[in-house]
Every structure is written in structure tokens, then in C-alpha cells.
């Protein structure tokens, strides 16, 4: 991406900016749109599939790939629930159960929960921001390919019976070479570092896109809450992911090079250091996989209430505050490790305080429903169900923030119940609701309303039947991470109910998948804006063209498509008009508009890169490099480093100049 800057002229008032190349206002004719299509469209066939940098294609790939991982993790969970449905079951051996619950946790937390939200954000961000693509399109493609290969890498040893088996939290010394000598922990450690690369470059892309790639007039107080959620999660990732990547790298060094970072037997290491490094990452990660989902609800729920979100400002501030406070509560997971009482008091208080910004968002959603005129469509049901599950998961989280109670509940099934209400109830339900809501934009077709409501009720009842009894099992003393139990422990009924509910929830997911596959071919044609929604993505065709907007919109409020029907004196300056009245900015090349970070004023013209194979090959060589390291093929690793360097050079090589054509006629607006 290259820039044509904007500069002020002598004599201009302070703060004035001017384009070196004037921006046109108006509308393109058919010839101009055809030329845009030629410049932005991905070539057909496998070459285009490997080289595309279109954010919409990448977003859909994230969604599909992450959902496949969800199904894999779900199958692993169902096998475990068969094992635990009855006492003294022998479906799995202890070793098999260890691998299953480790791979299940790793899959759901790292390979599903965030990537599925990255899929929504990759597809929707440029559309809701009024832009043509992400800030770094090739980096965007690279993040997806690395995610895909990291997922394959993490599963590489599982089919051989050597899957990671020390829990997704991978505590030392259980994961040290002494107690776990196989290749499984090495694969897990290196795979998580590879996945961290994908997460980090994706986070950088989101942050820069928000700061520089918005429609003219979209100031920082007009961006959708979905953008706030993903922006906050991305900023959190930039701070948290290095911690866990360092922890896994140090563990690999301990196992294969002979260092002693975590070895307490004679090297001066500390096992507790692992927990600090891991939970400094893993507790903020909870909010990373929740805040974008909350943003989906905050933007889509008001559409079905026929009014704007109540308390936009407090919800945006609470989103940021949740992540900020989330970085000072990691010892919430370590209350039983002998932490000094003063630290326990501080982190226990912080763990309770973090419920306040979450409560602000909850009251905003409830007030929006209460003051609106709800339309009970399938997406609305999923969003409303999410609010209920959010409250239950939040209350159980506050309970474990009390140190004396946490001492009794830690490592019991009460914590398992809380974890699933947070990571499934607060993630899966908004995700499914978001797919029902944006499916018309993704595909141009509507999903079945009847099947959607059936899927919701089966999933909602099944989820609560499956996971609420786990609270009771935990209060009855059932520890987590056990593969069987005696029949006289008093846990028989709650475990049977949990197993039945889990299969019911899985059946609801199956109904949803049937609806998706059916609607892809036979769903009713949607039109541009079937929900009568207010944000910019609904002003484009369904599905959108490769360039998103033939002419870039200028906005004057948070709800550009509702401006003609509502008064927003508190949001619109005096005399502000609809983006339709303000006109459009015409850019006829493979270009995008860069704006100022806060006010959203036009600032630069960005030359966007063309499709390239380089991101794909760089990710292939990076994955093979990690595989060579795992197998200790040092010569191959050096060759692959060189291959990565060549790929980067090809990536950054100046692109060819586009053939100049006569400008298309512009209808002045």
C-alpha cells in the first residue's frame, strides 16, 4: 500500500488539509464501474483462490474454517460426554481422555472462538467503515493462511495417538520432558507460536484499518460498536499474545535445548512462572473472544428493535474498559497457588470490578429492547438468548472472584460450567445470530425463518440443560479433568443431564447447518437491505462487488441509512445531511481513501496492492519451518528461512504500473 499525501497550502488556516490530486464528487457510469470491476476482481480458478487479497473472500474463509474447527471440537466434546454420562464407563482410556479434553479446549478456544470473529470483522469492517478493503490486504491473506496451517500443525500428532495431553493450559511440570516425553507438547508449543503470528499480524491490520480507512465524515464517535469490539480485542492481542508465545518458546527450549526456565529440580526455574505468563495472556483472551461478539449484538440487536442502541457512548467506553481491567485480573486463575493475601485482595477486587462495564452493556441491550418495538425474527432470538446467557455466565464469574469461595470451587465442574457459559453462550449464540443477520449480505439469499427459530430453541434449551447442571456437579464436589467416577459419589444424575443436553445442543447446530446449506441454493433472494438496517454495508449490493463501493460515501451520523427518518440532534451537527445528500467521493483506480484518525477527514489516497501468491507461499514456508524445528531437521530449517526471505522480497517488490486509460465520465452529484 502506497500513499499520495495531502498537504496544506501557504496561507491556509492551521489544521487545513488539501489533496494534491482533487477528489471528484459524483457517480460513476456503467463504463466506470466496469473498469473498477476489472481492476479489483480476483481472477477465476485456483490461481485466484490462492492469490486473492479480497477481504470478503478472506472473511468467508475464516468463517468456514473456524466453523469446521467448531464441529471438530464439538465431536470431541460429545465423545467425552458419552464417557462421563455413566459412572465407571470404559469408552476411553485415561490417556485418550487426556488428549481429547486437551484438543477440545485448544480447538474451541484458539482455533474457533477468535477466528470466527475475525471472519466477521474481515468481511464487514471495510463495508461498515465505507472503505474498499483492509489497510494491508496481503497481510490479511497471510494471517488466514497462517491460521489454517497452524490449525493443521496443531492436529498433526493427534491422529497418531500423540495429541497434546497436558490440558489446553499446558501446566508445567506435567508438560515437561520428564513427564511427557513424546512429540505432542512440542507440536503444541510450536503450533501456538505459529498461531500467535497469525493473531498478531491480524491485530495490526485491524488497528491500522480503523485509524486510517474510514469513510469521509466517520469520526471516531460514529464508528459501529462491532468495530469498537474488534479494535479493543486487537489492541489486547498485541499486548497479550507475546506473553504466551514467549512461554511456549521457553517451554520448548526447556524440553529440547536443555534450559531451565520452568525446571525446579536443579536449574533454578519456577513452575509458577508458566502460570503467570500463560494467564497474563489467557484471561484477556476471554474478552478477546467476547468483545467482538458483544459488538455484533450491539449493532444487530437495535435493527430488530427499530431504534438506535441506547447508550452508544457508555457501551463503547465499557468495551475499552473491559479490556483494560482484564489485564489486571489474571491471578483470578491462581488464587489457590499460595499467592500472598494482599495480592489476593487486590486481584479479587479487580475481578469483581470488571463486571461493571459488562453490566453497562447488558443494561443498554435491555433498555434498547424495552424502549424499542422488537421484531421477533430468528437473529433477534439468538441475540436475546445471548443476553440471558451473558448474565448467567457473568454472575458465576463474580462468584469465583470471591477468594474464599474460589478456594472451594477451583478445579471443580462449577468452573467448567462458568467457562462454557462465557466461551459458548457468549460467543456461539451471537455468532449464529450474526450469520442469520448477515447471511443475506454474504450470499444474496435469506435463511429460513422457521428453521432458524427451531435451531434457536433446540440450542438454547440444550445448552442450558447441558451446562447448568455442571454448576451443581461442582458444588457437589466433582473435580474437573477426571475421566470417570464411582457410582456412589452422587454425580450420576447431573452428568446424565449434561450429556443429554450436550447432544441436544449439537442437534441444534446440525439444524442450523442444514439451514445454511439449504439457503445457499434455495433461499429467497434478499435484496440490498432486507432488514432495513442503518449501517453502510446495507447500501451495497448483496453480495457486494469486489470494490465494495463504486463511489465512496460521505457520512454525517452513526446511522446513515436511517437519517431521513429520525432526528439525532445529539449526534448530528446543525445543518448536517444524509450521506446521500452530501454526495460521494469518486476514485476510479485500485485506490482507497485514507482519513485522519479521529475526525475522519480525507487525508491520503492509498494505492492498494494487487493479488499475490506471496502471502500463501510465505505461510507455507513458515509452517514447514516450524515442522522442521519440531523434527529437529536443522538444515531444512535454514533452507526454509531463506525461502521465507525470498517470499517477503517478492511480496514487497514494487507492483507493475497500471495501464492508464481515459477517465470514465462522471455524473456530477
| Chain position carrying cell 472503505 | 131
Quick: pLDDT tens for 104-131.
Answer: 999 999 999 999 999 999 999 999 999 9
Sheet holding 591-595, edge to edge: 2-4, 602-607, 591-595
What is the pLDDT at residue 659?
41
Q: How far is CA 600 from CA 128, 216, 217, 421, in A?
A: 14, 5, 5, 38
What is the pLDDT at residue 1?
59
* 629-635 average pLDDT score: 93
* 124-149 average pLDDT score: 96
- Percent of the chain exceeding pLDDT 90 equals 73
Name the more confident of 550 and 97.
Answer: 97
What is the pLDDT at residue 8?
44
Question: Residue 584 pairs with which residues in a beta bridge?
Answer: 553
- Which phi and psi angles does 445 have, rounded to 5°? -130, 155
Quick: pLDDT tens for 357-399.
Answer: 999 999 999 999 999 999 999 999 999 999 999 999 999 988 9
Helix (H) or strand (E) holding 595: strand 591-595
What is the pLDDT at residue 419?
92
* 588-595 average pLDDT score: 86
Quick: pLDDT tens for 2-38.
Answer: 555 554 444 444 444 444 455 555 566 678 788 888 8
pTM: 0.92
What is the pLDDT at residue 566?
56
pLDDT at 486 over 90: yes
Cβ atoms of residues 281 and 290 within 8 Å: no
Collapsing DSSP to helix, strand or coil, 170 comes out as: coil
What is the pLDDT at residue 28?
67
Quick: pLDDT tens for 178-221.
Answer: 898 889 999 999 999 999 999 999 999 999 999 999 999 899 99
Query: Which of 262-276, 341-355, 583-597 is least confident?
Result: 583-597
pLDDT at 602 over 60: yes
What is the pLDDT at residue 91?
92
* 228-232 average pLDDT score: 95
All three cell numbers of 301, joined, read 440487536
What is the pLDDT at residue 584?
67
What is the pLDDT at residue 591?
87
Question: Residue 3 pairs with which residues in a beta bridge?
Answer: 606
- CB atoms inside a 10 Å sphere around CB 588: 18
pLDDT at 431 over 50: yes
Mean residue pLDDT across the chain? 89
Q: Is cis: bond before 173, omega within 30 of 0?
A: yes
pLDDT at 250 over 60: yes
All three cell numbers of 577, joined, read 445531511
Amino acid at each position: 500500500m502506497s500513499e499520495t499525501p495531502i498537504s496544506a497550502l501557504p496561507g491556509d488556516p492551521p489544521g487545513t488539509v488539501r489533496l494534491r490530486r482533487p477528489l471528484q464528487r459524483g457517480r460513476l457510469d456503467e463504463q466506470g464501474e466496469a473498469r473498477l470491476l476489472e481492476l479489483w476482481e480476483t481472477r477465476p480458478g485456483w490461481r485466484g483462490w490462492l492469490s486473492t487479497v479480497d477481504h470478503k473472500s478472506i472473511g468467508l474463509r475464516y468463517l468456514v474454517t473456524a466453523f469446521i474447527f467448531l464441529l471438530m471440537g464439538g465431536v470431541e466434546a460429545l465423545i467425552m460426554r458419552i464417557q462421563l454420562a455413566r459412572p465407571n464407563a470404559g469408552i476411553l482410556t485415561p490417556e485418550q481422555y487426556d488428549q481429547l479434553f486437551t484438543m477440545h479446549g485448544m480447538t474451541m478456544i484458539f482455533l474457533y472462538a477468535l477466528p470466527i470473529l475475525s471472519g466477521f470483522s474481515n468481511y464487514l469492517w471495510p463495508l461498515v467503515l465505507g472503505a474498499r478493503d483492509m489497510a494491508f490486504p496481503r497481510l490479511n491473506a497471510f494471517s488466514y493462511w497462517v491460521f489454517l496451517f497452524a490449525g493443521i500443525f496443531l492436529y498433526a500428532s493427534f491422529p497418531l495417538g500423540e495429541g497434546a495431553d497436558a490440558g489446553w493450559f499446558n501446566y508445567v511440570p506435567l508438560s515437561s520432558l520428564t513427564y511427557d516425553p513424546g512429540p505432542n507438547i512440542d507440536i503444541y508449543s510450536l503450533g501456538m507460536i505459529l498461531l500467535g503470528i497469525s493473531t498478531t499480524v491480524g491485530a495490526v491490520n485491524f488497528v491500522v484499518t480503523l485509524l486510517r480507512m474510514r469513510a469521509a465524515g466517520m469520526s471516531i464517535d460514529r464508528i459501529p460498536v462491532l468495530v469498537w469490539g474488534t479494535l479493543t480485542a486487537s489492541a489486547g492481542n498485541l499486548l497479550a499474545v507475546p506473553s504466551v508465545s514467549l512461554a511456549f518458546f521457553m517451554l520448548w527450549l526447556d524440553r529440547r535445548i536443555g534450559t531451565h526456565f520452568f525446571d525446579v529440580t536443579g536449574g533454578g526455574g519456577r513452575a509458577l512462572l508458566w502460570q503467570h505468563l500463560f494467564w497474563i495472556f489467557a484471561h484477556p483472551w476471554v474478552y478477546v473472544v467476547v468483545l467482538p461478539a458483544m459488538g455484533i449484538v450491539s449493532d444487530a440487536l437495535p435493527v430488530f428493535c427499530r431504534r438506535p442502541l441506547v447508550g452508544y457512548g457508555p457501551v463503547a467506553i465499557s468495551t475499552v474498559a473491559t479490556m483494560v481491567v482484564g489485564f489486571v485480573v489474571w491471578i483470578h486463575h491462581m488464587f489457590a497457588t499460595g499467592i500472598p493475601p494482599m495480592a489476593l485482595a487486590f486481584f479479587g477486587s479487580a475481578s469483581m470490578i470488571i463486571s461493571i462495564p459488562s453490566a453497562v452493556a447488558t443494561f443498554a441491550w435491555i433498555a434498547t429492547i424495552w424502549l424499542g418495538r422488537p421484531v421477533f425474527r430468528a437473529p433477534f432470538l439468538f441475540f436475546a438468548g445471548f443476553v440471558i446467557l451473558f448474565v448467567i455466565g457473568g454472575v458465576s464469574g463474580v462468584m469465583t472472584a470471591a477468594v474464599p469461595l474460589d478456594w472451594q470451587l477451583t478445579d471443580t465442574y462449577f468452573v467448567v460450567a462458568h467457562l462454557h457459559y462465557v466461551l459458548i453462550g457468549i460467543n456461539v449464540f451471537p455468532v449464529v445470530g450474526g450469520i442469520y443477520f448477515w447471511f443475506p449480505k454474504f450470499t444474496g439469499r435469506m435463511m429460513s425463518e422457521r428453521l432458524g427459530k427451531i435451531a434457536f430453541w433446540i440450542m438454547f434449551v440444550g445448552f442450558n440443560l447441558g451446562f447448568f447442571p455442571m454448576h451443581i456437579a461442582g458444588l457437589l464436589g466433582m473435580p474437573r479433568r477426571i475421566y470417570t467416577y464411582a457410582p456412589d459419589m452422587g454425580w450420576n444424575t447431573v452428568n446424565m443431564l449434561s450429556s443429554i443436553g450436550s447432544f441436544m445442543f449439537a442437534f441444534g447446530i446440525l439444524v442450523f447447518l442444514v439451514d445454511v446449506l439449504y439457503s445457499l441454493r434455495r433461499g429467497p433472494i434478499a435484496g440490498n437491505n432486507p432488514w432495513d438496517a442503518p449501517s453502510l454495508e446495507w447500501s451495497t449490493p448483496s453480495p457486494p462487488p469486489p470494490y465494495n463501493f463504486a463511489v465512496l460515501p460521505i457520512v454525517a451520523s452513526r446511522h446513515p441509512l436511517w437519517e431521513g427518518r429520525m432526528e439525532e440532534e445529539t449526534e448530528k451537527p446543525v445543518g448536517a445531511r444524509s450521506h446521500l445528500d452530501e454526495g460521494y467521493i469518486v476514485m476510479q483506480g485500485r485506490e482507497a481513501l485514507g482519513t485522519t484518525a479521529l475526525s475522519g477527514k480525507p487525508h491520503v489516497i492509498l494505492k492498494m496492492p494487487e493479488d499475490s501468491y506471496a502471502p500463501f507461499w510465505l505461510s507455507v514456508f513458515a509452517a514447514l519451518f516450524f515442522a522442521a524445528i519440531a523434527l529437529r531437521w536443522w538444515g531444512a530449517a535454514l533452507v526454509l528461512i531463506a525461502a521465507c526471505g525470498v517470499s517477503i522480497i517478492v511480496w514487497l517488490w514494487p507492483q507493475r504500473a497500471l495501464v492508464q486509460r481515459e477517465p470514465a465520465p462522471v455524473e456530477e452529484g
